Amino acid sequence: MDSFRNRNKVRAVNRCRTYDLRRCLYHIRFYAILIFSGFSNVLLAQQPNISGIITDHTTNEPIEGVTVNTNTGIGTITDMEGRYEISIPPGEYLLQFSSIGYENKIQNINVLAGRNLVIDLSLQQITNELNLVVVTASKYEKNITRETVSMEVIKPEFLTNANTVDLDEAIQKVPGMTMIDNQANIRGGSGFSYGAGSRVLVLVDGIPELTGDAGDVKWEFLPIENLSQVEIIKGAASVLYGSSALNGVINLRTRYPGAVPETRITAFQGIYQNPPDKGKVWWGNQQPYFGGGNFMHSRKFGQLDFVAGGNINNERNFHQGQYNLRGRINANTRYRFKKVEGLAAGLNVNYMYYQSGTYFLWADDTTGAYKALGGLDSASTTVSEGKNTRMTIDPFVTYFSKNGSQHDLKFRYFYTKNNNNTDQGSISNYYYGEYQYRKSFSFGMNLVAGALASYTSVNAELYGDHSGDNWALYAQLDKTFGKLIAVAGVRYEAFHIDTARGNSDPVFRAGLNYELTKTTFLRGSFGQGYRYPSIAEKFVNTSVGALKVFPNPSVQPEYGWSAELGVKQAFKISNWLGYIDVAAFMQRYHDMIEFKFGYYNPNPVEGEYDLNYLGFESVNIENARISGMELSVVGQGTTWGINTYLLAGITYINPINVDQKNFVDSLTNADNTLTQAETDSLEQTIILNYRFKTTIKFNLEQSYKKFSWGIEARYNSFMINIDPFFEGNDPLVIYLFGEPTEFIPGVKSWREAHHHGDFVMDLRLAYNITDNIRIALITKNSLNHEYSIRPALLEAPRSYTAQLTIKM
């Protein structure tokens, strides 16, 4: 071979006598490349392979994502079956195996020419620290202490013990989180938007769960019976997740089966008790009730992973006319190819059908507090009844290459159909696709990059017929410099609804995390965000009693940013491990989209007002600033033989309408005759609507031998401002009617009588009959406190639930 190449090289040189210099150099370079390539291929062919499988020492389960590195920088990561393979020249090396939550292992190896090595290892889980491993903030596994943003984690046991039927019940237990009529709110970043649009993006395994029309989420559709954990990002996350992640992200991560098949069945039955004021009882001696159950089964069939789950629920609510009868079934599959190592493909499906009656406004704040405005007569009622279908089909492909990179291809088809008796039906088809590339480098850098596109078509009585699409490109890098982790990312996105087009300016995020000591971590972050208005916000045209909502096709996207400084302190008390987290944060929003009450006649005549055009419309009205602080603690362990889990926190926010503040400042500075009471009244108007300035959460779960018990307590301070329309003192209403006029009775008087905030407590007690059978009794709103979060809607009185859980 070598003599052949040398003879050809000589011939090429000889050709210089007859060819020009350029052609001579071309031939020499061509044959030099051939010779170099030949030597390179021979060397690579001679390099031995090191391969193996990494498993968990306790469960013997394969561990995905283990970093396998040599002291020379050559490395890779394990695939979903725990397999790895690297090619390396002969020599002596240090081979290190590391994974988050496990103790590192280092082996001395001697690699001989022509001989492959097989090294199978088991890694021991770390037991002397509280390991919360998350993926949402960085799109790869990272210990929560090393993230640059505030995050919380909810484990599945937390939901089961509290008989959490829908995920929104669990969300409101988390410090900094509130739910206002089923709409998620993180640190005051959102208010109440009448079910249209969301500044908090909800995901299942990284795929958006918001519908293509309203941009909302139905919490009962989420498959919480097959839950690995829920991860919550507090703050703008648009760089990785795009529009609707302006205020944060809630990501539900499902799980795949282990080595041993598992089946779990839960059934429950409960009743609502009468409220303290018996005059509000409309149901006589027939107590409102609820019941249902869920199941989950997971197992492996050779190379096929299979998980199936489902949920049924039947409720006759304490709100007059409200009921819910639903069934949901889901399945996750994944096939791990034997002939192509690192390749897997699967299909996840979720289907739900439900019938419901939806209560929206009370009749009044006294005897009609649980009755529907307008009664149940079809000509006047504000209750709507519907039959609805939701379905998702999610095919995916994942490939782990031998060089340590990961490729993910995800698709979704999301079908929703809403039929109701108020001519507000809609059908939405949503198509989504994303490619994502991840690479962990041996020198401490991680890269995540991707591209996505989606398309929506809507046929609706409620919105009309519309279509929209969007696409995006994003990338994020993080690099470790000793004890410092630095993160930077960028995203560009474009959208199109009918003939309206737009695009985001590039949005950026950056963050730092510094390990001050082995148990103290400082962090700082800045992230930009944006949100395109949903089809519902642009085109909704409906009414509920006195509430009318008008379309506004010209509403524009909203933009913002969030910044945070925080410290996370790990601690250990005997066998009890935990974290204390303190954060100071700031959020800014520009062109904030809010539904604002006003006069929206498309053809106004000066001096004339048609009352049919009084109502709400989504408009860009506010520049907002929300600053605050948060203290939270999470921990678990055993003290005096009692297993204890704790999640608690307090959040304080100062939510300011910047435009209104500037207006109030100009008034107070220009008029020195204002009394203190008048000044205080003006100052209150700068607070954003539908925000609690102070929230406190406390969740404690304990167990001893076969018994377990828990307590949950929540406090919300008084909601200072709501839409003036609800209290009848909107300036336009006063101008048109000559005096304050309530369209919905009792809101103003209720708020005047309940202006000290609300404290709610839940209790639970459980007993393990055997290792596989558990019974529990749960009481929610144990003090039977009457309270309201959203105007004209009372929350649930005390309820009792009996629960049975069987594991097989």
The 3-state DSSP composition of the chain as helix, strand, coil percent (nearest 5) reads 15, 50, 35
State how far the Cα of 509 lies from the Cα of 507, in Å rounded to an integer.
7
State how far the Cα of 401 lies from the Cα of 622, in Å rounded to an integer.
48
Question: CA nearest 532: which of 600, 607, 456?
Answer: 456
pLDDT higher at 283 or 72: 283
Q: What is the pLDDT of residue 195?
A: 65
Q: How many CB atoms lie within 10 A of CB 308?
A: 18
pLDDT higher at 235 or 129: 235
Q: Which run of H or E residues covers position 158?
A: helix 156-161
pLDDT of 42 strictly over 60: no
Q: Quick one: pLDDT band at residue 27, thresholds 50, 70, 90?
A: very low
pLDDT higher at 331 or 18: 331
Q: Quick one: pLDDT band at residue 524, thresholds 50, 70, 90?
A: very high
Instruction: Give the lowest-confidence range in 153-162, 390-399, 516-525, 774-783.
Output: 153-162
Q: What is the pLDDT of residue 15?
A: 40
Q: What is the pLDDT of residue 6?
A: 46
Place of tokens 């389960």: 61
Residues pairing with 560 in the sheet: 529, 589
Instruction: Using the CB atoms, write b or e for 216-244: b if 16+ within 10 Å.
Output: bbbbbbbbbbbbebbbbbbbbbbbbbbbb
Considering the chain, what percentage of its residues have pLDDT values greater than 90?
52
State how far the Cα of 663 lies from the Cα of 657, in Å rounded to an integer.
10
Averaged over 26-40, what is the pLDDT? 40
Instruction: Give the lowest-confidence range in 14-23, 95-104, 135-144, 492-501.
Output: 14-23
pLDDT of 24 strictly over 60: no
Q: What is the pLDDT of residue 205?
A: 92
Q: What is the pLDDT of residue 420?
A: 86
Q: Quick one: pLDDT band at residue 574, thresholds 50, 70, 90?
A: confident
Averaged over 438-451, what is the pLDDT? 89
CA distances in angstroms from 91 to 94, 95, 114, 403, 624, listed in the order given: 10, 12, 12, 20, 62
Structure tokens at 756: 């000290």
What predicted TM-score, i.e. pTM, was given to this entire model? 0.87
Residues pairing with 481 in the sheet: 484
Q: Contact at 8 Å (CB) between 466 and 497?
A: yes
Phi, psi of 158 (to 5 degrees): -65, -35
Question: CA nearest 65: which of 77, 54, 51?
Answer: 77
pLDDT of 503 strictly over 80: no
First-to-last CA distance in the chain?
Answer: 66
Vertex 544, ends 538 and 549: CA angle to 5°? 25
Q: Quick one: pLDDT band at residue 30, thresholds 50, 70, 90?
A: very low
Alpha helices per DSSP H over 652-788: 658-670, 676-684, 724-727, 731-737, 747-753
Structure tokens at 673: 């005759």
State how far the Cα of 678 lies from the Cα of 291, in Å rounded to an integer.
52
Q: How many CB atoms lie within 10 A of CB 612?
A: 9
Structure tokens at 515: 């390990």
pLDDT higher at 62 or 26: 62
Averaged over 347-361, what is the pLDDT? 95
Q: Report the number of secondary-structure helices (H) and strands (E) in the chain.
A: 11, 42
Q: Contact at 8 Å (CB) between 487 and 148?
A: yes
pLDDT of 19 strictly over 60: no
* Segment 245-256, tens digit of pLDDT: 988 999 999 988
Q: What is the pLDDT of residue 681?
A: 83
DSSP 357-406: EE---BS-SSTTTTSBTTTT-TTT---EEEEEEEEEEEEEEEEE-TTSEE
pLDDT of 106 strictly over 90: no
pLDDT higher at 713 or 100: 713
Averaged over 343-366, what is the pLDDT? 95
* Segment 160-202, tens digit of pLDDT: 888 888 888 888 889 999 998 888 999 998 888 766 778 899 9
